Amino acid sequence: MLDYILRRIITMVPTLLVISFLIFLIIELPAGDYISNQIAALRSSGEASAVAKLEFLRAEFALDRPFLERYLIWVGLWSGPHGFDGLLQGNWGWSFEFNKPVEEVIGPTLPMTIILNFTTILFVYIVSFPIGIYSATRQYSWGDYGFTFLGYIGLATPNFLLGLILLYLFNRWFGLSIGGLMASEYIDQPWSMGKALSVLAHLVVPTIVIGTAGTAAMIRRLRANLLDELHRQYVTTGRAKGLKERKLLVKYPLRMALNPFISDIGNLIPSLVSGSVIVSVVLNLPTVGPVLLSALQSQDQFLAGFVLLFVAGLTLVGMLVSDLLLAVLDPRIRLGGRAAS
């Protein structure tokens, strides 16, 4: 098992490298950089002294170097103006817009992002599991049709629109603002029971909004898998021999249908994380979503780059966890060695 975990983690390293390169490429796509744009603006207004200072800053952040060198400096594999000082050394870069280290800008939002994504995944698991089993065991019942219909609606409604609609309805019916992640009186207060409860209450709507599409997809998947198993002959044999329905279901078919269920969650994580970014913008949640949007709009490249990398890393970790879960559940993968990886 330890062997498997280790191997699985090691394969993540090259993936992360490729991803970081792709991300750096993307954030460097716009013409110029934050500082050279400022220089151009200052030049046109004729402020020469400020220009010199900004030129100095450009050199300071290695923005005047060639592309590949800049990338390696950002990651921390190349000696920059201050020696090896990049992501690997724990320096997340500098946010030009806020004039602060990136760490300070997004530090507070990171735990919230992780909490939000974690609760969403939990929500998807908890809701889709019983409904999937119900739909499969009572195929073509009214409940099954109802959930299928709801599922289609959930799949078709883009999550940010669902957020917008819920925001409107809550405002309309309860006069309640569901934006933000806690009631306004708790902002900047130390953690207390009341604050934790308030955060929990505010987590409900975003979790549902982000998780709906995924839940619908998982229900569909689990239902199909379980139905395949339930029509196998061993189930008929078991039933003929007088096995209790409950035991008959739980003992074999459910275990078989569980594997794809777990591995599919891994495939779902990228879209969940995607959803959390845009829903956070709509519902005004203090996660990395709104930070990313403003950073992209103002071309605050290191901030945007780090957020993108963080989001991608979060996805990778999520997929890792789902793979490990799968290994725990399925001895074929755990012991299968090379075949599994």
Partner 1 sequence: MTDARDTTHYVNPAPFNPIEDEVLTPEQERYYQASQWQIMWWKFKTHKLALWSGVVLILFYLCVPFAEVIAPYTPNTRDSEYLYAPPQALHFFHDGQFVGPFVYGQTSEVDLTNMKWVFTDDPNQVQPLRFFCFGTEYKFWGLFDANFHLVCPAEGGTMFLLGTDRLGRDQLSGLIYGARLSLTIGLVGVTISIVLGLFFGGIAGYFGGVADSLIQRLIEIMRSLPELPLWMALSAALPVNWSPVWIYLGLTIILGLLDWPGLARAVRSKLLSLREEEYARAAVLMGAKPQRVITRHLLPGFTSHIIASATLSIPSMILGETALSFLNLGLRRPSVSWGVLLNEAQNISVVTVYPWLMAPVIPIIIVVLAFNFLGDGLRDAADPYK
For partner 1, the binding residues (CB under 8 A) are 15, 18-19, 22-23, 26-27, 29-31, 152-153, 155-158, 160-161, 164-165, 167-168, 171-172, 179, 267, 270-271, 273-275, 277-278, 281, 292-293, 296-297, 299, 304, 307-308, 311-312, 315-316, 319
Phi, psi of 178 (to 5 degrees): -100, 5
Residue placing its CB nearer to partner 1 in the complex, 219 or 281: 281
CB 316 to partner 1: min, Å: 6
CB 339 to partner 1: min, Å: 16
Tokens at 267, concatenated: 């495939």
Beta bridge partners of 95: 100
CB 193 to partner 1: min, Å: 29
Contact predicate 282/163, CB 8 Å: yes
Residue placing its CB nearer to partner 1 in the complex, 181 or 249: 181
CB 112 to partner 1: min, Å: 16
CB 338 to partner 1: min, Å: 14
Residue placing its CB nearer to partner 1 in the complex, 80 or 96: 96
Residue placing its CB nearer to partner 1 in the complex, 230 or 291: 291
Distances (CA, A) of 177 to 68, 140, 212, 321: 47, 39, 21, 34
DSSP secondary structure string for all residues of 61-123 = TTTTS-HHHHHHHHHTSS-BBTBS-SGGGT---EETTTTEEHHHHHTTHHHHHHHHHHHHHHH
Residue placing its CB nearer to partner 1 in the complex, 23 or 39: 23
CB 29 to partner 1: min, Å: 4
CB 290 to partner 1: min, Å: 10
Phi, psi of 158 (to 5 degrees): -60, 140
Contact predicate 50/335, CB 8 Å: no
DSSP secondary structure string for all residues of 131-195 = HHHHHHHTTTSHHHHHHHHHHHHHHHS-HHHHHHHHHHHHHHHH-----SSS-GGGTTPPP-HHH
Contact partners, residue 260, CB within 8 Å, separation at least 6: 221, 225
Beta bridge partners of 7: none
Residue placing its CB nearer to partner 1 in the complex, 2 or 31: 31
Residue 296 exposed, middle or buried by CB count within 10 Å (0-12, 13-18, 19+): middle
Residue placing its CB nearer to partner 1 in the complex, 259 or 274: 274
